[in-house]
Structure 1
Amino acid sequence: MGDLLEEFFKRPYIAAKVAEGKLPDTWREIVGDRAAEVTTELRLENHILHVRIQSSVLRSELFYQREALREEINRRSGVRLVNAVIIR
């Protein structure tokens, strides 16, 4: 039974949906508690991650780290979940 469940969760569609559900936790782990607290929107749409940050200082800092954020999210997710990050 355990092997069957493991095989089920390794399917690309299922793995992507599980990773999408864990996205808020993954975001917090990557950017830290302070940035996660001022994140008001975290939405994945067509492999584009839309992030809204209240703090202009953190928004500016994260804007320049978009590619690194995308790579780290995909690495931690184990699937290619995000193709681009838009920070507003």
Structure 2
Amino acid sequence: MFERTADIGFVATDCQICSLLAEPCVEAVDAMQQPQQFSENSRYSDLQAQQKQSLIYARAVLSDQGIALGVLSLCFKLDD
């Protein structure tokens, strides 16, 4: 249990993650605008800045009251 709490503390203060959250990406904005649906994008994304093109699925994470709390994204590398 301690290892998981340390992991989440480390991830929550990671500079790269914090900078992504400070400037919402297009995929997150799309998912938050239509929280009941997922978005699918195949293009360049700041989420995988080292890739020319990524396939990204995103969907808002909702509270029990249906309020969007954040966005979960699955990113797939298209180039080898």
TM-score bin, normalised by smaller chain:
under 0.3
Structure with greater helix share of residues? 1
What's the TM-score, normalizing by structure 1? 0.26
What's the TM-score, normalizing by structure 2? 0.27
Structure with greater strand share of residues? 2
